């Protein structure tokens, strides 16, 4: 087990193999747009939601229901070894990612509705470290996750994420883990209407599911997440604003 470094500020440099060494397909050329950063887990990420500051906890309802995890779920994951073929320091990268992923999970603490286990036996999602960035005029994606589902999924980490400070890297993973729990961006109902969402509870603008200066994990984030799953698991909350909640189990339980 990797020992977590308390209050560590260290980070890692991704070392790409030379073209002669690398047997993988060349990554496409991308353009970088300053320090703009976006999250595309919601399908569309906006750095600013038309200057609005939504105040509610937003849940995914893209499929006509709100997917949340059933009780006692353990998500099995493994590294996508093919994605690591492009790097000469792949083992160092894996060790470092385990550290920051563990730090992000510890920040959610015991309110996390699921547990995670690195286990290649009937894995539920693969963690991919991409060799090329994913940028467009809005900015660069740091990472991309998934919402609760019974299928197999991927969690992507892009090189741009590793250029941030260690705190920003951990905050990015806290945000993406929030998506895995079923949370949408706070501005989803404003700027991401192509993918429907529903509101649960009320929040201050500060939330790990927001962007920029507002993007910090708060006690409200944790308390509302805990209350949401507690009510759902007890059978006291079965729908939100008319949209039914559906509990799902991971792929390995199918």
Q: Is the pLDDT of residue 52 over 50?
A: no
pLDDT, average across residues 129-153: 90
Give per-residue pLDDT as tens, 88-112.
Answer: 999 999 999 999 999 999 999 999 9
Average pLDDT, integer, range 209-229: 80
Contact 161, 127 (CB under 8 A): no
Q: Spell out the domain ranges in the chain.
A: 55-253
Give the integer Cα–Cα distance in Å for 152 and 250: 8
Question: For 162-199, what is each residue's pLDDT tens digit?
Answer: 999 999 999 999 999 999 998 875 433 333 334 344 44
CA distance 162 to 140: 12
- Quick one: tokens of 242? 């008319």
Of 182, 131, 185, 133, give the one whose Cα is nearest residue 153. 182
Residue 103: predicted pLDDT: 98
Highest mean pLDDT among 32-36, 108-112, 221-225: 108-112
Q: How far apart are the first and last CA of the chain?
A: 28
- At the top level of CATH, which class does the domain 55-253 belong to? alpha beta
**Of the ranges 19-23, 61-65, 242-246, which one carries the lowest mean pLDDT score?**
19-23
């Amino acid at each position: 087990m990797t020992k977590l470094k308390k209050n560590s500020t260290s980070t890692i440099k991704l070392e790409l193999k030379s073209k002669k060494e690398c047997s993988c397909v060349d990554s496409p050329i991308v353009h970088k747009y300053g320090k703009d950063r976006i999250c595309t887990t919601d399908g569309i990420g906006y750095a600013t939601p038309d200057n609005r500051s939504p105040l509610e906890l937003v849940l995914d309802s893209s499929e006509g229901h709100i997917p949340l995890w059933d009780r006692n779920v353990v998500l099995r994951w493994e590294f996508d070894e093919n994605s690591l073929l492009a790097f000469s320091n792949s083992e160092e990268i894996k060790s470092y990612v385990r550290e920051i992923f563990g730090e992000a999970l510890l920040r959610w603490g015991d309110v996390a509705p699921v547990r995670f286990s690195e286990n290649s036996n009937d894995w539920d999602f693969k963690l991919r470290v991409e060799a090329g960035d994913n940028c467009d005029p809005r900015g660069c994606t740091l990472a991309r996750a998934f919402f609760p589902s019974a299928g197999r999924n991927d969690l992507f980490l892009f090189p741009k994420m590793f250029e941030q400070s260690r705190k920003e890297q951990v905050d990015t993973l806290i945000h993406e883990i929030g998506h895995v729990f079923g949370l949408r961006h706070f501005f989803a109902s404003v700027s991401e209407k192509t993918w429907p969402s529903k509101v649960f509870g009320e929040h201050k603008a500060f939330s790990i599911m927001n962007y920029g200066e507002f993007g910090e994990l708060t006690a409200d984030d944790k308390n509302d997440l805990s209350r949401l799953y507690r009510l759902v698991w007890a059978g006291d909350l079965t729908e939100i604003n008319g949209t039914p909640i559906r509990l799902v189990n991971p792929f390995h339980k199918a």
